[in-house]
């Protein structure tokens, strides 16, 4: 699909006001996206587990404006209180998607949103937040297009496919990784020769064979630092322009998609851990070797990593970690070892979390309409 296919169709329904609501999850990348071209096009392919517990719930109330369709008009209510802080990001998002949803300026929106994970937990809410909002908007667009009751089953599934792709396409324009938050349980973003249907424009569900070992995979998120990041992802992505290792890194990510495809099929957990840990450390190595350089890990991030390595060595259990663009540690492990590993996390790792806080999550099935 090309960008032009997401341009609007005929809106034949006139809707004065109404409401839509969606819940959308966060995701954790296994092969990381770091570096982008214009229009949020990724420099390399990425693959992620969709999460189950960390979600944003968004209710979009819309009301036709009487006049003045020049600008965007919206209010944001975050966790029950009016919020001005999110408005600039949403305004930028609306500007980017205006061409694809030209009804935006004709409505006043009230965006009521909340997260299932604690506010300021250091967990990026942009993936779940932007995908939930994108889903609400595509849902509204669907209502504006007169539905054709005579549609055959096959055409209906084409419509559904379009809905999901457009939601992912728009979410990408809000925050790159958000395009991987529409569906579950594994999603690829970025065109790759070995992933059929993959695209730079939107995330696609990973439909290749996946071994039982990865069913119900756990992700315990250790909240090492709940503060605001010192360097935003936007700045970090930008620093990949002219980065001395950029070319090698983008090539490596492409190869890692090929490698992880074989791993997901074979169920080789040792190879899985080696790949995801290397990806996590490479992401942070890119930050440390950009100009200006920066470090998002904290002393406790390293303490946790070392503890995980020692425990793995000692027990032979398949515990591994990955990192986002922050200090928190995502501890990944299979369902059949969950009991012992969870016990270890509770007794040995929680001490390194800020106020002892962590979130138990696992691989999940994507967004849903509320």
Binding site for ligand PMV (CB under 6 A): 29, 32-34, 46, 124, 126, 175-177, 233, 237, 283, 324-325
CB nearer to ligand PMV: pick between 29 and 341? 29
Nearer to ligand PMV, 115 or 175 (CB): 175
Q: CB 343 → ligand PMV: shortest distance, Å? A: 29
Residue 30 Cβ vs ligand PMV, minimum distance, rounded to whole Å: 9
**How many degrees, rounded to 5, is the angle at CA 238 between CA 232 and CA 244?**
120
Q: What are phi and psi of 58, to 5 degrees?
A: -130, 130
Q: Which is nearer to ligand PMV, 29 or 297 (CB)?
A: 29
> Which one, 61 or 122, has the nearer CB to ligand PMV?
122
Min CB(325)–ligand PMV separation in Å: 4
Q: Of the two residues 220 and 256, which places its CB atom closer to ligand PMV in the complex?
A: 256
Closest distance to ligand PMV from the beta carbon of 162 (Å): 23
Tell me how far, at minimum, the Cβ of 29 lies from ligand PMV, in Å: 3
Q: How far is the CB of 236 from ligand PMV (least distance, A)?
A: 7
Q: According to the 3-state scheme, what is the secondary structure of the chain?
A: CCHHHHCCCCCCCCCCEEEEEEEEEEEEEEECCCCEEHHHEECCCEEEEEEEEEEEEEEEEEEECCCCCCCCEEEEEECCEECCCCHHHHHHHHHHHCCCCCCHHHEEEEEEEEECCCCCCCCCCHHHHHHHHHHHHHHHHHHHCCCCCCCCHHHHHHHHHHHHHHHHHHHHHHCHHHHHCCECCEEEECCCCCCCCCCCCCEEECCCCCCHHHCCCEEEEECCCCCCCCCCHHHHHHCCCCCCCHHHHHHHHHHHHHHHHHHHHHCCHHHHHHHHHHHHHHHHHHHHCCCCCCCCCCHHHHHHHHHHHHHHHHHCCCCEEEECCCCCEEEEECHHHHHHHHHHHHHHHHHHCHHHCEEEEEECCECEEC
Q: Quick one: 60 or 280, whose CB is closer to ligand PMV?
A: 280
Nearest distance from C-beta of residue 57 to ligand PMV, angstroms: 20
The distance of closest approach from Cβ of residue 291 to ligand PMV in the complex, given in angstroms and rounded to an integer, is 19
Q: Which is nearer to ligand PMV, 56 or 177 (CB)?
A: 177
Nearer to ligand PMV (CB atom), residue 189 or residue 344: 189
């Amino acid at each position: 699909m090309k960008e032009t296919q997401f341009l609007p169709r005929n809106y034949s329904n006139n809707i004065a006001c109404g409401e839509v609501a969606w819940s959308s999850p966060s995701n954790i990348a296994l092969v990381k996206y770091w570096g982008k071209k214009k229009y949020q096009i990724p420099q390399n392919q990425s693959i992620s587990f969709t999460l189950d517990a960390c979600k944003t719930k968004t209710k979009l109330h819309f009301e036709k404006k009487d006049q003045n369709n020049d600008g965007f008009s919206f209010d944001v209510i975050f966790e029950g209180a009016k919020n001005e802080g999110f408005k600039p990001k949403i305004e930028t998002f609306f500007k980017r998607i205006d061409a694809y949803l030209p009804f935006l300026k004709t409505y006043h929106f009230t965006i009521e949103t909340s997260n299932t994970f604690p506010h300021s937990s250091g967990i990026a809410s942009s993936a779940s937040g932007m995908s939930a909002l994108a889903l609400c908007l595509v849902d509204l667009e669907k209502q504006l297009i007169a539905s054709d009751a005579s549609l055959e089953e096959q055409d209906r599934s084409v419509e559904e496919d379009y809905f999901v792709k457009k939601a992912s396409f728009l979410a990408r324009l809000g925050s790159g990784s958000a395009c991987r938050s529409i569906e579950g349980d594994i999603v690829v973003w970025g065109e790759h020769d070995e992933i059929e249907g993959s695209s730079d424009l939107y995330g696609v569900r990973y439909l290749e064979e996946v071994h039982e070992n990865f069913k119900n995979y756990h992700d315990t998120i250790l909240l090492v630092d709940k503060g605001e990041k010192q360097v935003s992802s936007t700045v970090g992505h930008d620093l990949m322009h002219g980065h001395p290792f950029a070319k090698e890194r983008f090539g490596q990510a492409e190869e890692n998609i090929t490698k992880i495809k074989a791993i997901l099929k074979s169920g080789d957990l040792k190879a899985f851990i080696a790949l995801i840990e290397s990806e996590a450390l490479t992401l942070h190595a890119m930050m440390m070797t950009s100009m200006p350089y920066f470090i998002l890990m904290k002393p406790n991030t390293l303490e946790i990593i070392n503890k995980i390595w020692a425990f793995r060595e000692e027990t032979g259990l398949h515990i591994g970690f990955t990192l986002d663009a922050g200090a928190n540690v995502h501890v990944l492990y299979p369902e059949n070892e969950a009991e012992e590993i969870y016990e270890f996390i509770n007794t040995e790792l929680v001490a390194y979390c800020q106020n002892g806080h962590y979130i138990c999550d696992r691989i999940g099935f994507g967004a849903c309409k509320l």
